[in-house]
């Protein structure tokens, strides 16, 4: 199948503007010509009818016989026209010629006293009017015929007056509209060339200055699209760099542990090395999960759908998932506020991810230094500001000046440890859901990480 080549926007606009313009111009000229010709024809016909009345006024009856009381000279004066030739005939009610040209056909008026018609006499076109006068036996008809040379001249002059200006104006309008269309389409051509000539790595904004709002809006939409693409590319590069940087250390540790174990023949050494390898693998897996969570947060930043969630149930399920880890770490888990339903707006995946990072971070880094038993408490409450999820430990806490910094990626405490991603992921997830994450000192010592979400309006039930 042959594919027709696409036409340019400039050609399509010219066709859709200039063709209707030409048709409207010609139609308006034809309408003016028709009206003018009708008015002129009526004036000429009226003059012809006046001549018929003048002849009829000199027809008289004598002893029942009709005759025309005009001499040849008087007839010549009455029917004189310096440009046209006139003919006449007078017939009585029996069809007998009283005076004039016997070959001039009569057109009997169907209604009224006169009727106009076209006919030919000796091959020459004529315009005729037939006037009926008298009563009874004295009824007669007068027919006046006139050549149409002057009418044709009038028609030509009217056509020139009506159509010639239009025909002169039409090319001027076409040129002007074509120039305007070219000026309006040129910014689109420039925008197309600017995009076509771009290198694939060049995602900088294009020039959005244009004379029309539509072209400016298109350029700005392209800039927004390239901005989103640039953000995505930057996130991918950052993710790849983060993976390469952060996995190097645990993978090197696993490799060293394996090499040390292979260099010994004692099964006890093998067992200890395998346990260390398993622990390093768990830390590496945790790091990969956190990196993927950050990539997910960057990807969904403009497409998070919030829905009502049962926060009390999500917290209860999270505590059950982390109970085995808490037992291994020797941390006592506790909860508060789970006896009442608490609902908030959020994303299930984001709430679970934020809550899991906060609990995991507290289990790993929330141990007290004075030998007291480690405790971790998750409190759920609803207040005037929304829904509050607080994860509190009784560890050493964090200095006030360090708390805001630790919500950034790759930020660690002075003691080190961890990847520096858990709190950053939780803060980013909270931001995506329209909430916030804050760090503060826990009562009695330690750290409390408070996640704030939007509350769901509870329906009021009438008693």
What backbone phi and psi angles, to 5 degrees, belong to 66?
A: -90, 145
By residue count, the chain amounts to: 463
What backbone phi and psi angles, to 5 degrees, belong to 123?
A: 80, 5
End-to-end, the C-alpha distance of the chain in Å comes to: 74
User: Can you list the domains of the chain with their CATH numbers?
Assistant: 9-157 (3.30.450), 213-299 (1.10.287.130), 307-455 (3.30.565.10)
Asked whether the predicted pLDDT for residue 225 surpasses 80, the reply is yes
Alpha helices in 197-212 (DSSP H): none
Q: State the pLDDT confidence band at 460, using cuts at 50, 70 and 90.
A: very low
pLDDT average, residue stretch 63-83: 80
- The first and second tokens of residue 201, run together, are 């790595």
Which of the two residues, 410 and 438, has the higher pLDDT score? Answer: 438
Q: State the pLDDT confidence band at 462, using cuts at 50, 70 and 90.
A: very low
Q: State the pLDDT confidence band at 463, using cuts at 50, 70 and 90.
A: very low
pLDDT digits (tens, 9 = 90+) for 440-452: 888 878 889 999 9
Q: What is the structure's pLDDT at 461?
A: 40
Q: What is the structure's pLDDT at 450?
A: 92
**Exposed (0-12), middle (13-18) or buried (19+): which is 18, by Cβ within 10 Å?**
middle
Which of the two residues, 33 and 240, has the higher pLDDT score? Answer: 33
Q: What is the structure's pLDDT at 299?
A: 61
pLDDT average, residue stretch 325-333: 86
Q: Which of 303-307, 330-334, 427-431 shows the highest mean pLDDT?
A: 330-334
**Ramachandran area for residue 144 (φ above 0: left; ψ -120 to 50: alpha; else beta):** beta
Q: What is the structure's pLDDT at 3?
A: 59
Q: What is the structure's pLDDT at 310?
A: 93
pLDDT digits (tens, 9 = 90+) for 92-136: 888 888 888 888 877 777 777 889 888 888 888 989 999 988 776
Q: What is the structure's pLDDT at 391?
A: 92
Query: Which of helix, strand or coil describes residue 411?
Result: coil
pLDDT digits (tens, 9 = 90+) for 145-174: 988 888 888 888 888 887 888 888 888 888
**Secondary structure, 3-state, 10-21:** HHHHHHHHHHHH
What pTM, to 2 d.p., does this model score? 0.45
Query: Which of helix, strand or coil describes residue 197?
Result: coil
Asked whether the predicted pLDDT for residue 209 surpasses 90, the reply is no
Average pLDDT, the chain: 81
Cβ atoms 310, 421 nearer than 8 A:
no
Q: State the pLDDT confidence band at 311, using cuts at 50, 70 and 90.
A: very high
What single DSSP character describes residue 93? T
Report the distance separating Cα 339 and Cα 391, nearest Å.
17
pLDDT average, residue stretch 357-380: 85
Half-sphere exposure of 331 (CA within 13 A, CB side): 27
Percent of the chain, pLDDT > 90?
A: 8
CA torsion sign, 29 to 34 to 40 to 44? Answer: positive
Q: What is the structure's pLDDT at 313?
A: 93
- Spatial CB neighbours of 401, under 8 Å, sequence gap ≥ 6: none
pLDDT digits (tens, 9 = 90+) for 371-397: 788 899 999 999 888 999 999 998 887
- The first and second tokens of residue 312, run together, are 């009390």
Asked whether the predicted pLDDT for residue 352 surpasses 60, the reply is yes
Query: Which of helix, strand or coil describes residue 343?
Result: strand
In DSSP terms, which residues pair with 382 in a beta bridge? 387
Q: How far is CA 225 from CA 204, 231, 419, in A?
A: 11, 10, 33
- Spatial CB neighbours of 274, under 8 Å, sequence gap ≥ 6: 261
Q: What is the structure's pLDDT at 379?
A: 93
């Amino acid at each position: 199948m042959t594919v027709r080549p696409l036409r340019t926007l400039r050609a399509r606009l010219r066709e859709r503007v200039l063709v209707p313009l030409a048709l409207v111009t010609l139609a308006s000229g034809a309408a003016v010509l028709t009206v003018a010709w009708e008015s002129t024809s009526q004036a000429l016909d009226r003059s012809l009818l006046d001549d018929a009345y003048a002849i009829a006024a000199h027809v008289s009856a004598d002893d029942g016989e009709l005759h025309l009381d005009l001499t040849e000279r008087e007839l010549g004066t009455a029917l004189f026209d310096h440009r046209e030739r006139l003919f006449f005939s007078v017939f009585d009610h029996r069809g007998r010629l009283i005076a004039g040209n016997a070959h001039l056909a009569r057109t009997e008026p169907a209604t009224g006293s006169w009727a106009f018609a076209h006919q030919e006499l000796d091959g020459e076109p004529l315009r005729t009017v037939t006037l009926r006068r008298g009563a009874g036996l004295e009824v007669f008809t007068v027919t006046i015929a006139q050549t149409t040379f002057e009418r044709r001249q009038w028609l030509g002059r009217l056509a020139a007056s009506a159509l010639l200006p239009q025909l002169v104006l039409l090319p001027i309008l076409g040129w002007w509209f074509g120039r305007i269309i070219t000026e309006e389409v040129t910014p689109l051509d420039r925008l197309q060339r600017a995009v076509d000539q771009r290198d694939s790595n060049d995602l900088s904004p294009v020039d959005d200055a244009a004379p029309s709002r539509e072209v400016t809006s298109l350029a700005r939409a392209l800039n927004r699209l390239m901005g989103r693409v640039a953000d995505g590319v930057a996130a991918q590069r950052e993710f790849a760099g983060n993976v390469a940087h952060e996995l190097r250390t645990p993978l090197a540790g696993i490799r060293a542990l394996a090499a040390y174990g292979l260099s010994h023949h004692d099964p006890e050494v093998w067992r200890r090395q395998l346990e260390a390898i398993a622990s390093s693998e768990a830390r590496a897996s945790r790091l990969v999960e956190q990196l993927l969570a950050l990539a997910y947060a960057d990807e969904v930043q403009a497409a998070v759908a919030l829905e009502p969630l049962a926060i009390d149930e999500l917290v209860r399920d999270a505590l059950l998932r982390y109970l085995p880890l808490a037992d291994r770490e020797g941390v006592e888990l506790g909860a508060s506020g789970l006896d009442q339903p608490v609902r908030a707006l959020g994303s299930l995946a984001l709430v679970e991810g934020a809550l899991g990072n906060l609990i995991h971070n507290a289990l790993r880094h929330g141990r007290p230094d004075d030998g007291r038993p480690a405790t971790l408490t998750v409190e759920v409450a609803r207040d005037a500001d929304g829904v509050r999820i607080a994860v509190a430990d009784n560890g050493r806490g964090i200095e006030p000046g360090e708390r805001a910094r630790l919500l950034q990626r790759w930020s660690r405490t002075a003691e080190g440890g961890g990847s520096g991603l858990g709190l950053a992921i939780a803060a980013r997830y909270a931001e995506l859901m329209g909430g916030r994450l804050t760090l503060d000192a826990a009562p009695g010592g330690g750290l409390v990480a408070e996640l704030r979400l939007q509350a769901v309006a509870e329906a009021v039930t009438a008693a």
